[in-house]
Amino acid sequence: MNILLVYAHPEPRSLNGALRDVAVRELEAQGHTVRVSDLYADRWKSEVDRADFPTLTPDARLLPVAASKTAFDTDTLTDDVKAEIEKLLWADALILQFPLWWFAMPAILKGWVDRVFAYGFAYGVGEHSDRRWGDRYGEGTLAGKRAMLIVTAGGWEEHYSPRGVNGPIDDLLFPINHGILYYPGYDVLPPFVAYSVDRLDEAGFEAMAERLRERMRTLATTPPIPYRQQNGGDYRIPSMQLRPGLGDPDAAGFALHLNGAGPAS
């Protein structure tokens, strides 16, 4: 497979840097071709602003959605964004790797998504009718490709368990897995999460690295998280609410959007 790893850590000698090297080496050993977008090293511009839309006249009001659509349609996205889109189209699998910072991805990676996932490419795709609400949530430009997260967290695994004070990790990562990756069509694999990483010794690192190697060996075969397809009949259109009778009647929130058993992260 062709694999794109988008890496967001400012220090190459970090734990994240070491885990990235472990992942890349294992993927290459399995015969995959890997490209890395190293956002800090590349000095990735993270904010969406007028500079992203050079054809916008100086007095025109910046409407980010409309500007993104026009730039995509007219092939006037900036070269850095076009290069990332080309890599996403090339890749059969996308890996986003980052340390958990304030229960989310670092701003530079969020900015990569904001700028690269353009209107017409990652959203605003497909027809809206009484049968379909665009090609999204399981359908879209990136359908048929796989995606997964590699995340490091200072907190303990128990703190991220279903009754843990931080909230369940699958809930915290839902906006990324479902809202960013499943939305444009990816099959999203359960994340690789490394917990309690701030006090790690060599033995702890080696066990973690071996767990990551195993996930890289099974990248092509690991079953994806069973999210419900938006246009598959489970949701009412246009309210986009899960139909009555589906899901646990007592359940609310993110877990409702899983078809059957939840992911094993």
Ligand X SMILES: Cc1cc2nc3c(=O)[nH]c(=O)nc-3n(C[C@H](O)[C@H](O)[C@H](O)COP(=O)(O)OP(=O)(O)OC[C@H]3O[C@@H](n4cnc5c(N)ncnc54)[C@H](O)[C@@H]3O)c2cc1C
> Using CB under 6 A as the criterion, which residues of the chain lie in contact with ligand X when the complex forms?
9, 14-16, 18, 99-103, 152-155, 197-200, 202, 205
Nearer to ligand X, 200 or 237 (CB): 200
Encoded amino acid at 140, one letter: G
Nearer to ligand X, 16 or 141 (CB): 16
Nearer to ligand X, 30 or 196 (CB): 196
Encoded amino acid at 74, one letter: T
Q: How far is the CB of 158 from ligand X (least distance, A)?
A: 12
Q: How far is the CB of 37 from ligand X (least distance, A)?
A: 17
Q: How far is the CB of 27 from ligand X (least distance, A)?
A: 18
Closest CA to 27 of 3, 54, 49, 60: 3
Nearer to ligand X, 73 or 206 (CB): 206
User: Whole-angstrom Cα distance, residue 139 to residue 136?
Assistant: 5
User: Whole-angstrom Cα distance, residue 54 to residue 10?
Assistant: 29
Beta strands, E only, the chain: 2-7, 33-38, 93-99, 146-152, 187-188, 192-194
Q: Are the C-beta atoms of 43 and 54 separated by less than 8 Å?
A: no
Q: How far is the CB of 103 from ligand X (least distance, A)?
A: 4
